[in-house]
Structure 1
Amino acid sequence: MKQTYVNHKKELKGGTLKIGYPSNNNFKGIFIQELGTDSETDSLAELGQPGLFRKDKNGKYVKGGLADVSFDRGSKTALITIGPKTRWSDGEPVTARDVAFVYEIIANKDSTSEYYSENLETIMGMKEYHEGKTDQIAGLQIKDSKHLLIHYTKMAPAMEYVDSGYLYNDAQPYHYLKDVPMAEMAQSDKVRKHPLFFGPYTIKKVVQGEAIEWVPNKYYGGRKPKLDKVVEEVVPVAQVAEAMRSHKYDIILHESRATYAKTSKVDQYVTLGTMAYGLQYMGFRVGDKNPNGKSVLDKELVTNNRALRLALAYAMNTQQIVEEYGAGLQKWANSMVSPAYGAYHDSKTEPYYQNLKKAEHLLDQAGFKRGKDGYRTRPDGKKLTLHLLDQASGRGNDEIRANYMQLWKKIGVKVELVNDRPLEFNTYEDLLHSNSHKFDFWFGTWSLVQEPSSAATAAYSPSSSFNYGHFVTKENTKLLESLNSVKAFDAKYRIKQMHKWQEYMRKEAYVVPLSYSYDLTAVGKNVKGMTVDNSTQLTVWDNVCLTK
């Protein structure tokens, strides 16, 4: 699939670019990515916050960004150098203090950020700051206004990649936000209505959850923006196809498979796409979060029975579903690592081929006995009802879910939806992020970065706030630690350990991979300079313009 649209028409000076974002939910509109949790806001905000650093096609650092970074494995440091032209949209220069502020926002004990992780704890003094024992992070050394030296306790191979979680690709305006309490920052008007940006565009107006109007950031340190205005709107998924037929929008971000199936022959658009690094999955809640914020297994939960998890996986006709509903844009997932990661994806890991007899046998052997009503009881004889958490996302998704629930009924497992219905996105997200016992398992989607080990470490480490199922085992933690050990600087060893992790996850079925997808962008033929290849420039919006 093409990643760049080449348009030979003459460009129009200025003009208004209209972008549609297909979603049945409002975006949350927290314009500090370290405090946000929804991918909608992150995608819509890329016009203003593209990231400080440039990367190559593999996601590794290269020179030429709004800031550059250099690593020294001997001294265990990273030196960030901010470009002299890098400025906020109020004209103030981006400083080393602004970069350090990002780490304070994530790690402050009063912060609402969910991005604190073991990776960040490799920065000297980070853990002490996070626990409130100090008011500064010892490992962040501001050399001068344009240089920040970060001291680590150890170096890791993941550090070679932008967005690894060891070093953040961002800055936040300390001069503008320093007086806003950490606990209140996510809801502040300075963040939600009048944020500052260092990217090519800045916000003129926000209709909360629905639309954003952008104008050029006249202080942008990169190429001068070519458009007078950009208007982004959230569009209900069911209305996108008709909007495209009438050419209401110049670009459709993250076009759905259902829309593509209806509009692939609409002549006004060209579709660009890349295989996504994330995946669609089914996860099980097998534990809880302790008072220190770490995940711990709860062996009393019925979902901690591996036979039950495997039985649900083997009952599913996922291969058939992908073929029928994927519009040729999905691939049946065999492991927890997308093929987009190249050699790190283990193509030899077997998917869960549908096998109802095997599912029945697993449950029989584990003591889940059928009752007169056809449903099974727990091994202790108590009633078994599993509660499934899912979000409302269209008729196709409703049909797929109903299909799976019918198959689980066939093997005698009673499954009910939380609140008896699929939930609106923000309600679903809030429940998923909570420590709730309302759900036993859920359907979800991971959006991941290009750093390969993030497929494992981002959500399945004990301290990760994205470990929604609170899955923790000694073997898993040992495998995760090996991915960024000193030995893992040897790529062959790292790939081998990634393959071991994928096989371990398949054996245990704490998380069941369902499908990989292409991420699609529909581009109007009146648009020039659009690409989804981030390696060609600092941001995909640097060269976008309209044509005559």
Structure 2
Amino acid sequence: MKKFKKIMATGVTLLAASMLVACGSSNSSSSSSSSSKSSSGSAKTTKVDFKSKTKTGNSTGGTLNVATVSATPFTAVWLPELQSSAVDSEVVQNWASEYMIKTDENFNFVDGGAVDLKLDNKAKTATMKINPKVKWSDGQKMVAKDLEYPYEILASKDTASERYNEQFENIEGMKEFHEGTAKTISGITYPNGEDGDSIVIHFKEMKVGMDVSGNGWFWENAEPYHYLKDVELKDLKASKKCNTDPVFFGPYKIKHVVSGQSVTFEPNEYYYQGKPRLKSLTVTVVSPATQEQQIKAHKYDLIKVRASIWDNVKKTSGYDFLGVKPMQYSYLGFKVGKFDKDTGKNVQDPNAKMGNEKLRQAIGYAMNVDQVVDKFGHGVGYRDTTLIPESFPEYHDKDAKGYPYQADKAKKLLDEAGYKMGKDGYRTDPDGKPFTITLMSMSSDNDQQTIVNNYIQKWKDVGLKVQLLNGKLTDFNSFYDNLKKDVKGVDMFMAAWGLASEPSRAANMWAEGNPSNYARFNSSKNNELIKDIQSQKAVNDHKYFVDSLIKWQDNMNKEAYVIPTNRSYIITAASDKVENYAVAPLGWMQTNQYYKIGIKK
């Protein structure tokens, strides 16, 4: 399952900080170039060639220093079932916490990982069988119960996991377990017992994309039941076994944690694919404010490069710059409701301040995204037009125009919606009352304040009074905490999202039962289109599936509860001493390959 980074993918939902330029389509070749779109929709291309992998080699030993760029520290929640922070996921993902089913370069499941998968459409089952070589980092063999236990963690109301959503209720008995009317999940069975080598998951229906990682219909991580069973689920997230002394089956295990700052790993001697090449590695959280200096000082062997500093570091010697357009996007979201934990649904407020469709559309047309990208994108970003990126060329709506800057159109929409211009230069609401919109935007880099101020001015130009929440940018942890808790006073917000590697997940992100639908909208048309995407007809008719995704994108642009703004390359500076490292559309190389990474001494 491929998610988080920023953001996490259901299995790990890639939450990402609000960035100047988010991310775009994948490129499977060894080099690629960036392009941006002007407001007229014509292509404006700036040639930037990137490698996608470092040199190969056989070096062993040595220490790898990795930077995770974040304005806030990690929270040390290492179990993916309980994570809500992109930073936590990035620190351990693939180094220690590994996806258990192997994939090819297109994220299709293949045999040869820690667990093999067999789908049976007729029987409506998924059989997962453990590789007999797989052991946990404490030496215990992985058993069938370890594959089932994550579902208990996800579904228990004692954990209040944000990763649980209605998709899991396609598993027989999952809803009953979640609601507390059943003590076990009837749809997960053990052919050879809990200490055996396999489980069978029984589904109510087979769904589109079940053969692709990140599909969200089942979990792709295992957890060590023998190690965690003595911890009550309500205490698991805050326990030492989750925070400081976790057990993994990936190539490395945690040796030392400096709270919020760094994690040092050592090889997992029981790793099923063989001995990892590195003697040790340390992952350190680095502030965006010091990122440029850290690169120029060659302090880290692997470190991400923000678009805003690209021009300043691109000629730094001693690094290979690797680049991909990952499956992420930045967006402007409008708060129109709350999430009801009892029903597991987003409940839209019919009287929400941002409930007027023409108001939302006008706000989108008033944003000069192309100009912002031209000034701050450094040749590696472009305005976005839809919520499914070019990373999915078959499913991306190539005809979508999105919201190019059209101030006159914005004014006309506001006039039609009854927002009249007052003597002070600002519009009143349709009832003639003063109208102020509160925006929440995340603190990220030095450009973010300038960008937000620019948009506030552009909204003022069409008569809308917009102010920042508490008069300033919001830090990462508070930002997502405010969204999750539906804190009052937030009318719209600028955020980013990392997509899963299965395209229908892009739509389910905004489903009525998804707690990560932070806009909290619940429209009948959106629900209808998502049902079409997930229907049996879509399973059996690929063209219908594609057409349903195109229709969904078109409707999302029309209803404008969420407006995509921009994407950009994710760039990684890799020391020229690093061997066997590569980047992929999700921002990291294929899982199950990290044990091969080495560094010349």
TM-score higher than 0.5? yes
Equivalences for 1:187-266 in 2 at 5 Å? 187-252=238-303, 254-266=304-316
CA contact (8 A) 2:105 2:590 kept: no
With the length of structure 1 as denominator, give the TM-score of the two structures: 0.97
* TM-superposed deviation, 1:5: 2.9
Q: Tell me which protein shows more helix as a share of its residues.
A: 1
CA-to-partner distance for each residue in 1:199-234, whole Å, 9 max, x for gaps? 000000111211000000001111310011001111
For residue 353 of structure 1, what is the aligned residue in structure 2?
404
* 1:395 partnered with 2:436: no
Deviations 1:478-519 (A, max 9, x none): 111111211112222111111101110111111000012222
1:24 partnered with 2:71: yes
Once the two structures are superposed, what CA deviation does each residue of 1:317-355 show, in whole Å capped at 9, x if it has no partner?
011111221122222101111111121111101121211
- Matched residue, 2:553: 502
Q: Which residue of structure 1 aligns with residue 43 of structure 2?
A: none
> Which residue of 2 is the match for residue 474 of structure 1?
524
Q: 1:118 aligns with which of 139, 152, 166?
A: 166
Aligned to 1:463: 513
What secondary structure does 2:237 align onto?
A: helix
Shift of 1:420: 1.2
Query: How does 1:51-450 map onto structure 2 within 5 Å?
Result: 51-144=99-192, 145-252=196-303, 254-290=304-340, 291-450=342-501
Q: Is the 8 A contact 1:112 1:186 kept in 2?
A: no
Stretches of structure 1 lacking an aligned partner (at least 5 in a row):
none
- SS of 2:401's partner is coil
**2:231 is matched by which residue type in structure 1?**
V
SS at match of 2:372: helix
Amino acid at match of 1:267: S
Is the CA contact 1:66–1:82 (under 8 Å) kept in the aligned structure 2?
Answer: yes
Q: CA deviation at 1:405?
A: 0.3
Share of identical aligned residues, percent?
35
Conservation of the 8 A alpha-carbon contact between 2:581 and 2:589: no
Q: Does the CA-based 8 Å contact 1:278-1:455 persist in structure 2?
A: no
* Secondary structure, aligned partner of 1:496: helix
Query: Secondary structure at 1:158's aligned position in 2?
Result: coil
Q: Distance in 2 between matches of 1:13 and 1:391?
A: 41
> Is it true that 1:484 corresponds to 2:484 in the alignment?
no
SS at match of 2:391: helix
Contact 2:97 2:250 in 1 (8 A): yes
After the TM superposition, list the runs of 4 or more consecutive aligned residues in structure 1 that deviate by more than 6 angstroms: none
Q: Conserved in 2, the CA contact under 8 Å of 1:22 and 1:256?
A: no
SS in 2 for 1:341: coil
Are the aligned partners of 1:17 and 1:546 in contact in 2 as well (CA < 8 Å)? yes
Matches within 5 A, 1:36-55: 36-46=83-93, 47-55=95-103
For 1:137 and 1:5, locate their aligned partners in 2 and report how far apart those are by CA, in whole Å. Answer: 43
**Matches of 2:266 and 2:63 in 1, distance apart?**
9
TM-score, normalization: structure 2?
A: 0.88
Unaligned runs of 5+ in 2: 1-31, 33-49
The offset of 1:546, in angstroms, is: 0.9
Query: What's the CA shift string for 1:68-95, capped at 9, x where partnerless?
Result: 1000000000000011111111011111
**C-alpha distance in 1 between matches for 2:90 and 2:592:** 12
Q: Aligned pair count?
A: 545
Deviation at 1:429, TM superposition (A): 1.2
Secondary structure of the corresponding residue to residue 462 of structure 1: coil
CA contact (8 A) 1:461 1:472 kept: yes
CA contact (8 A) 1:24 1:393 kept: yes
Between the aligned partners of 1:412 and 1:6, the Cα distance in structure 2 is: 51
Deviation, 1:163, is: 1.9
Tell me how large the CA RMSD over aligned residues is: 1.5
Within 2, Cα distance between the matches of 1:455 and 1:530? 28
Q: Report if the CA contact (8 A) 2:383-2:566 is conserved.
A: yes
